[in-house]
Every structure is written in C-alpha cells, then in structure tokens.
Amino acid sequence: MVKFNAQPAAVPGPLPEWDERWSRLVTVDTVDGERTFHVLDTLPALKEQGLEPTGTIIALHGNPTWSYLWRRLAAASIDADGRVWRVIAPDQLEMGYSERLEHDALPTTHGSGYRRIAERVSDLDAVVRSLLADTADAQGEQHPVVTIGHDWGGIVSLTWASRSQDIVDAVITLNTGVHLAEGTPLPAPLRVALAGPALPTTTVLTDWFLRTTLSLGQGPISDEVKDAFRSPYRTAEDRGGIGAFVADVPAQPSHPSYGELQRLADDVASIEKPALIVWGPKDPVFVEHFLRDLRHRIPHADVHRVEKASHLVSEDADVPGIVLRWLARQFPDDAVSVASGEEPTDDPAPMIFEALDARRSDATVASVDMTQNPPQQITWKQLTRVTDGIARGLQELGLQRGDRVSLLVTPGNDLTAVLYGVLKAGGVAVVADTGLGVAGMTRAIRASDPQWVIGLKPGLTLARAAGWPGRRISMHGLGPIERAALGVETSVTALARTKSTEPIRHPGREDDAVILFTSGSTGPAKGVRYTHARLGALARTLRKQFEVRADTGWAAGFAPFALLGPGLGISSVTPDMSVTKPRTLTAAALADAIEAGKSTMVFASPAAYNNVQATASDLSPEQRAAFTKIELVLSAGAPVPLALLDGLAELFPNAQIRSPYGMTEGLMLTDIDRDGVAAAEAQSRDHGVCVGRPVPRVRFALAPLDADGRASDELLTGSGAADVLGEFVVSAPHIKSGYDRLADTDASSKRDTLDDQIWHRTGDIGHIDPEGRVWIEGRVQHVLSTPLGPLGPGGLEAVANTVEGVYRSAAVGVGPAGVQTVVVVIEPDAGAGRQAGLAPQQLTDAVRASVAEHYPHDVAAVLVSNDFPTDIRHNSKIDRTRLAAWADRVLRGERVGRP
C-alpha cells in the first residue's frame, strides 16, 4: 500500500497578492510528536515597515484551501482606528505547504493515520501558543487576540476559541457548520465526494473536489488565483490530506469523529466573547440551516450577510474591510468617542397598536379594501376584535416574543388585521414587496429567517416551492388536501375566532416590531428594523405633522401606507390598483376610494399621480366632486417637481399640496407645501428639488463630497453646512433601529456621532440652503465625477426637465472617475415618438442651452430613451446606473437596445 509521508515544500513564488515575507515554517509538539506547519505570519513584514502590531488575528482555512485564502486580510492589516493587526494563518497539517502524514493512500472514513477533527483543534492550539509569546506590549499587557475561520476551519477555529477564552477577545467566522441535525442530508458536494468508492477518486486521484470548490465563487476567480490555490496540490501525493479531511466528515453516528463533533458544537455555544458571522447565502455547501444553528448557539453574534456571495465568501466580498471595521468597533481607540445610540425618553410615544385599541367600541369604518370585488370594509370594533383573536391564537399556537412572522398577504384589510395581530402578540412582522420578484423575495425572506409564515394561497405555494423557512398559516381556511400540500397548520380565520380570556402578552417598547425591506433600487433589498418605540414615534410625528383629527381618513395610493391607518387612529382606503405598480392608479379608482372611505387625505407616489392626471378626463361629475372634498394631498417616494404639484392643485382645488421627504429607514424627515416649493425656486437659483425643512425632532447634518464624489467622515451642521454639496445624515426618534443581519452595512450607515446620538447616512445627496431648506440632488452612487468636481445629477435634471418635450431626464457620467463627461438622457413626453439613441439636434441644443444657464459643465451628448428603468415600489426613482451603462454603449456605437 502506498504511503504518504513528506516534509513541507517551499511556497513557490511569486503568487498573485502574496507577500513572500509572510511565509514561515514552524515546528511544534503535537499529539503524535513534532510536526512542521507552514504559517502565513505578517509580523516580519510589519516590522520591516516600522509597524508594531497592537492586535493579532488567528485565521484558519478549510478544505481544500490553504492560508492563501487570507492573503487579502493579511495585506489590509490596519483597521479604521489605526490599530495594526498581525495575521497568523497556519496551513492545517497535510494541507497547503504543511507536513504530510504517513497514512493509507486511498482514504476511507474509518482509515488509519488521518488527522481527526479533535486533533486539528489540538494542532491549532500548539501552533498559536508557540507564536503568541510576542504579543504583549511594552507594559506587558496582552494585545487583543481574535479568531477567524472558514469551512471546516470555522468549526476548528470556533472550538479552539471557546476553549481558550482566557486569551481570545473576539471570534469571527465565515461560512461554516458546527452541527448537522439528525436526518438532515449532507451538502451535495460532500455527498458526491463521500459516495463510497468515489471518495479517493474525487479527492485524491483527481482534483475534482478542489476544482469544484474553486468554482463556487460568484464573481470570476482569475486563472492565476485559481492556480495559486492549486499550487500545493499538484499530484495525488500532495492531495492525500484533501481526501483525509473529507473522510473525517462524520456523516453517520458510527463515524469515529461523530461524538467529538457533537462535543465541539456544544463547546461553541459557550462562547461569550464578541462575535461576528460573515455569510455568503449562495453557498451550496453550508446552507441556511447552518447559519440558523450558529445564530442559535451564539445568539449575541453580529451577522453580516453578503447577499451575492457563495462558499468562497472571501473571494466574493470585501471580507477584510468588513472584519477590520468590525474590529475597530470592538476595540476602539481610547480617544474615539462612541455614541450611546439612546434617544431621549422624556416623552415616549405610545405603542402603535394603542391607537387601534382606543377605538375598540367604535362602529364606524376603519378600513376599506377596494381591491376586493365587492369592496370589503371593516369597522374599528371588528378590527379590534379580530386582531385580539389573532394575537391570542398565535400565542396559544406557540408564538414567542420576538418570533419573526413573514406576511405573504397583499395590502388591504387582510394584511392590516394580520399585521396588528402579530404586533400585539409580540411577533416581528417581516414585510417584503412582491415586486421584488421571486428571487428578491427569496433572498429577503431567507435573510430574515422567520419562524412563521402567514400567507394567501399563492404566497404559501411560492414559500413551499422555494423552501422558505417557517411554520405555515393560511390567511383563509383551506381543504385538507391543500393544507397537507402546503404544510399549513391552521388559518388566520380560525385564529381570529380564539375565545381565550387570557390577557395578551404584549411586547416591550424596545422589542423589534417590523422588518421592512427596501425597494432594492440600489442593490439587494435590505431589511430595515423598527422597534415598537420607533414605530410609535413615527405615528406621533405623522399625527402632529398632518394635524390628524378624529374624522380624518386617507386614501393610500401607495398601498402599504394604508397599514399605518390604524396606528394613526384614522380610517384608510386601499384603491383598486395593482399594489406593486403604483402608476396603475387611475383618477376614477382614486375618486371611488375617496368616496368609499370618506377620505380627507390622499397619499401616493409621483408616478401614481402622473397617471391620475393622465386619466382625469375619464372622471364623471360625481367623481370630480369627490376630489373637492380632499383637504390634504401628499406625494412622496421620489422628489416631486413643482410642475406636478401645480397639476395636483388643479385636480384637488380645496387641498393643501405637500411633499414630505423620507425613505424606508426614516419615513418622515422633511415637509414642504406647494407654495413653499414655488417660493424656494423663485427666491434662488438653487439646483435640485426642494423638499423643505426638517420636521420636529429631526436633525440634519451634511457629509461633504470629495473630488471623487465620496462622502467625508466629517459632519457639518448649522451655517457650516450651507450650500455645500454632500450626503445627508439624519437623526430622529423615528428612524430605523438598524439593518437586519447586515452588521457592516448597519455600522457604516450610523457610524457618525454628534451630541451622543447616532446619525443615519441616507445615501441621498444635495445641499442645505441658507434658509435651512433641504435640496435633493440624487444618490451618492450616482454622483458624476467631473473635471470641475463632483456633480449631483438631480439639479441638472431639474433644469433639463423644463425643456419642451421632455417628460423626465437623467444626468449620468461617462468615462473614468475624475474626468467623466456629462450626458443627459431624456424620456420624451408621451406620444412624442422619438427614436432611441442620439437626440435630434434641436432637442440637444435646447437641453444644452438650458443647462448652460445654471451650470458651467458642458453636456457632451443628449440621448433619447423611451424606456426609463425605475424602482419597483414607487415607479419613480430612476436607475441612473443602468442608464449610464446604456449611454456608454450608445456613444461607443454599439446596438442601442434597452437600458
């Protein structure tokens, strides 16, 4: 029988992104005598640069990678606060360039001479403790020690950390798994590799297992980098450790390592140190239930999901940036001020369901759903009774305070009742738009990982097919065959009839209440968490700002806003429209909704109002009369130009026309009326769309943009922020609690502090004029980086939109950063019949002349597109990134096509 027994070979050089000074060989005593390990150690390179490490990161790879996996972390070294981190990354025995052992050439699960997982933990301990002797500072105090692991290196790393909490200060893991529940199948790549005689063939005799692993990156891994990963495993003799590692996967209770893995998993649950989990959800190996298990064992861990990353998350994402930013927060410099994040509590707002309960004896209409045929209405008395029944029924069924409940119900009375029932019971409502599509909703729901799913039949069917987590409850009663097919336990209809007299166990003010997903217009949709305290603060702000009375009611053309009605104590109406396409709202449907709900207010997005204006000629005299009863018209979701506000004033002659500004992370930040917009535009030559002044309890600061369009860490307030182009940063009692399971994104969005309060970076850019009015000029990612400095597209677009024949426009930058040229893409008025591509000369000249009156920038080209890509939720936010790529193709002479 062929035996493997080899001393470690030298790392061949050069390798891409690899510093040869990192390589060293370390010989230590192990469970079976002296063994030699190859170790990536950045200490010599740091000392050559005159840098003394003030912390140490112990990094451990899995199978079949090696310490090369950590090259980018090693190169980064310095965190946001200037702390220098030494990186120590051993190659596990028989892996990378460490020593090979003498054992059977063709591995089997019960073969002899293999390194078992318990011995790997012991190996790590021996290597690390031999290298940590020089981690104390001049005063003899130990530097922070942090562990990080990936794949099977994750379980080894976490186990060693759990048993070494006397010297370990924090733990980090990438995709890994520490426990496989009985009856749960192994991941597909492992099943193939472990399939009897396939084990030696797939792992040792060929490099199939290695190549399969390297194919799991979502972004293309270059051939040079792949070759570097393969360099220690060129021959079958080199790959013996790969097969031995796979053979040690304890798939059955009879496996020699099965009992030890159970003990390791239990040890991981003892970790009390700060923890971070960085996860690639597209991983086919360590799938979602492994993350769920880790969160259960280390419940205090921060989680950051990189939605487009797979198994090799460190190749797909900026893991060094995520890790070093997190470490800077865990080990801040003494001179750095850390905000408490606490909001003033001298005037706590009521829980959002208290306004509903206050009207439990009221027999007037609380909500009307015009999407039903015939329209469905429910009184305050009925709604209170139904929500109480749902809350009690859920608690009897086993819902615990903090359980997440995914709501797959279209906006209307059903969703309103379920939402408030869940909130009363202490559940956390997870709301993701169907407009995100199947892939987007799957990503969102798996990220939130709900314990419960409540849905209509189409939603439950999708949940079953897509494998979404959670116990199933149907909205309405189903037959026994459908219940079995969809895995449904009961229905909301049955829960609502719960007769229990037990008091409802309500949540606390600081408990999470909802997770609302963003529209996904600027990347994968993010889950935005709100506590009950912050939802209550939002309701208080809206009530005061809109002067809500007992007889106030609104027609919500943006259907999810109808959900806020009970929380405000006002009746609400959902018009007959497609809830995922606001621009399908017609004037007739809005008029009918106003009449049905006796509404005094209307809320809709600019796209919805544009269609209302376009279909106003279809109104009957009775429907036109309904518009005269409206006292307040609100438009939000995207900046609203004065021309649209003027048109609304004609449609609603007795109404105040207002345009509040906000976002999913802060639903009400500023407010302005039509007269205010007109006055602002008349008084100045400011660029952009004026959205007014901050509402009470909201504070604005501004992070200036540098020459490349990046927002500074500096925050300007008061007169110092006047007329400076920058990113808006806000603070208020009713902004988000945080982003859900996006620890790095969350920390980055609120890392700025003033007055011991956390401020949220909005991603919106613009300026604040000397009168304190906020002007929106676009998004940070859409800034044009021109030779004259950063340029916000929104202001230039507002100018171009005034040109005759232009419905709307988008200003985009084409070319390298710093020297981008300005290109204006216009969408012509309906019926103009413009051909896509370069605009006619007359239109080009008109746009250039209009821009020249306000800007020193030359417009390189004017293009026509009849198909502007917009967001799903409001149909109003223009996707300038797609238009910029399209404009570049057009100017290169490529086929025009669609953006």
pLDDT in tens, 827-866: 988 766 678 889 999 999 999 999 998 899 999 999 999 8
403-437 pLDDT, tens per residue? Answer: 999 999 988 899 999 999 999 999 999 998 777 77
Is the pLDDT assigned to residue 246 strictly greater than 90?
no
Between strands 689-694 and 774-779, the pairing is antiparallel
What's the pLDDT score for residue 179? Answer: 83
d(CA 586, CA 604): 11
Q: How far is CA 275 from CA 238, 299, 312, 743, in A?
A: 35, 9, 20, 11
CA nearest 10: which of 38, 32, 31?
A: 38
Is the pLDDT assigned to residue 560 strictly greater than 70?
no
What's the pLDDT score for residue 348? Answer: 77
What's the pLDDT score for residue 219? Answer: 75
Higher pLDDT, 420 or 187: 420
Is the pLDDT assigned to residue 639 strictly greater than 90?
no
**Quick one: average pLDDT of 274-285?**
94
Task: Kindly state the tokens that stand for 4.
Answer: 């493997």
What's the pLDDT score for residue 138? Answer: 46
Give the H/E segment covering residue 784: strand 784-786
Mean pLDDT rounded to a whole number for the chain? 87
Environment class of residue 580 by beta-carbon count within 10 Å: exposed (0-12), middle (13-18) or buried (19+)?
middle
User: Which CATH number is associated with domain 688-782?
Assistant: 2.30.38.10
Other CB atoms within 10 Å distance of the CB of residue 804: 8
d(CA 532, CA 629): 34
d(CA 779, CA 765): 5
**Quick one: average pLDDT of 462-482?**
93
**Is residue 77 very low, low, confident or very high in pLDDT (cuts 50, 70, 90)?**
confident
**CB–CB of 94/277 below 8 Å?**
no
What's the pLDDT score for residue 344? Answer: 40
Residue with tokens 């509903």: 356
Is the pLDDT assigned to residue 399 strictly greater than 60?
yes
d(CA 268, CA 270): 5
**CB–CB of 541/697 below 8 Å?**
yes
Is the pLDDT assigned to residue 441 strictly greater than 80?
yes
d(CA 224, CA 678): 60
689-713 pLDDT, tens per residue? Answer: 889 999 999 999 999 998 888 898 8
CA nearest 407: which of 377, 386, 427, 379?
A: 427
**Quick one: average pLDDT of 122-134?**
90
CA nearest 174: which of 55, 89, 56, 86?
A: 89
19-46 pLDDT, tens per residue? Answer: 999 999 999 999 989 999 999 999 999 9
What's the pLDDT score for residue 643? Answer: 85
d(CA 841, CA 498): 70
Can you give the length of the chain in residues?
899
Task: Kindly state the tokens that stand for 39.
Answer: 């170790």
Question: What letter represents residue 719's amino acid?
Answer: S
Between strands 632-635 and 656-658, the pairing is parallel
d(CA 676, CA 674): 5
Three-class secondary structure of residue 532 per DSSP:
helix
**CB–CB of 878/888 below 8 Å?**
no
d(CA 489, CA 396): 13
Three-class secondary structure of residue 614 per DSSP:
helix
What's the pLDDT score for residue 755? Answer: 61
Percent of all residues in the chain with a pLDDT value above 90, rounded to a whole number:
59
* Helix spans in 146-277 (H): 152-163, 188-193, 198-200, 208-214, 223-230, 240-247, 258-268
What's the pLDDT score for residue 521? Answer: 63
**Is residue 1 very low, low, confident or very high in pLDDT (cuts 50, 70, 90)?**
very low
Task: Kindly state the tokens that stand for 238.
Answer: 């080199």
Is the pLDDT assigned to residue 656 strictly greater than 80?
yes
**DSSP-derived secondary structure letter, 201:** I
Environment class of residue 244 by beta-carbon count within 10 Å: exposed (0-12), middle (13-18) or buried (19+)?
buried
**Is residue 125 very low, low, confident or very high in pLDDT (cuts 50, 70, 90)?**
very high
Question: Would you call the peptide bond into 187 cis, given omega within 30 degrees of 0 as the criterion?
Answer: no
717-750 pLDDT, tens per residue? Answer: 888 888 899 999 999 999 999 999 999 988 888 7
**Is residue 638 very low, low, confident or very high in pLDDT (cuts 50, 70, 90)?**
confident
Is the pLDDT assigned to residue 139 strictly greater than 70?
no
**CB–CB of 316/218 below 8 Å?**
yes
Is the pLDDT assigned to residue 16 strictly greater than 50?
yes
What's the pLDDT score for residue 136? Answer: 53
Higher pLDDT, 760 or 580: 760
Task: Kindly state the tokens that stand for 403.
Answer: 């359980």
Give the pTM.
Answer: 0.84
Three-class secondary structure of residue 812 per DSSP:
strand
Q: Can 20-101+115-330 and 783-899 be said to share one CATH topology?
A: no
Three-class secondary structure of residue 742 per DSSP:
strand
What's the pLDDT score for residue 160? Answer: 97
Question: What letter represents residue 609's amino acid?
Answer: Y
What's the pLDDT score for residue 346? Answer: 47
Specify the CATH architecture of the domain 783-899: 2-Layer Sandwich (3.30)
What's the pLDDT score for residue 191? Answer: 67
d(CA 426, CA 411): 21
Highest mean pLDDT among 128-142, 250-264, 508-522: 508-522
39-51 pLDDT, tens per residue? Answer: 999 999 999 888 8
Domain definitions of the chain by residue range: 20-101+115-330, 351-533, 688-782, 783-899
Q: Is the C-alpha dihedral spanning 654, 656, 657, 660 positive or negative?
A: negative
User: Strands, E, within 593-741: which ranges?
Assistant: 601-604, 632-635, 656-658, 661-663, 666-671, 689-694, 699-704, 726-731, 738-739
> In degrees rounded to 5, what are phi and psi of residue 746?
-65, -45
**Is residue 115 very low, low, confident or very high in pLDDT (cuts 50, 70, 90)?**
confident
Q: How far is CA 850 from CA 170, 481, 797, 837, 858, in A?
A: 58, 66, 10, 20, 11
CA nearest 66: which of 320, 314, 236?
A: 314
Q: Is the C-alpha dihedral spanning 762, 763, 764, 765 positive or negative?
A: positive
Other CB atoms within 10 Å distance of the CB of residue 815: 16
What's the pLDDT score for residue 642? Answer: 84
d(CA 631, CA 65): 66
* CATH T-level assignment (fold) for domain 20-101+115-330: Rossmann fold (3.40.50)
Question: What letter represents residue 388's amino acid?
Answer: D
CB under 8 A, 24+ apart: contacts of 549-555: 551/600, 552/600, 552/601, 553/597, 553/598, 553/599, 553/600, 553/601, 554/597, 554/599, 554/600, 554/601, 554/602, 554/603, 555/590, 555/593, 555/594, 555/597, 555/599, 555/601, 555/602, 555/603
User: Which CATH number is associated with domain 351-533?
Assistant: 3.40.50.980
Higher pLDDT, 688 or 476: 476
CA nearest 213: which of 37, 16, 68, 41?
A: 68
> Residues with Cβ < 8 Å from 174, sequence gap 6 or more?
148, 149, 150, 151, 154, 278, 279, 280, 313, 314, 319
CA nearest 876: which of 739, 727, 776?
A: 776
What's the pLDDT score for residue 384? Answer: 96
Other CB atoms within 10 Å distance of the CB of residue 685: 7
CA nearest 645: which of 607, 682, 675?
A: 675
User: Strands, E, within 433-532: which ranges?
Assistant: 452-455, 471-474, 488-491, 512-517, 527-531
What's the pLDDT score for residue 273? Answer: 95
d(CA 43, CA 144): 15
Is the pLDDT assigned to residue 187 strictly greater than 90?
no
What's the pLDDT score for residue 684? Answer: 65
Task: Kindly state the tokens that stand for 48.
Answer: 């050559």
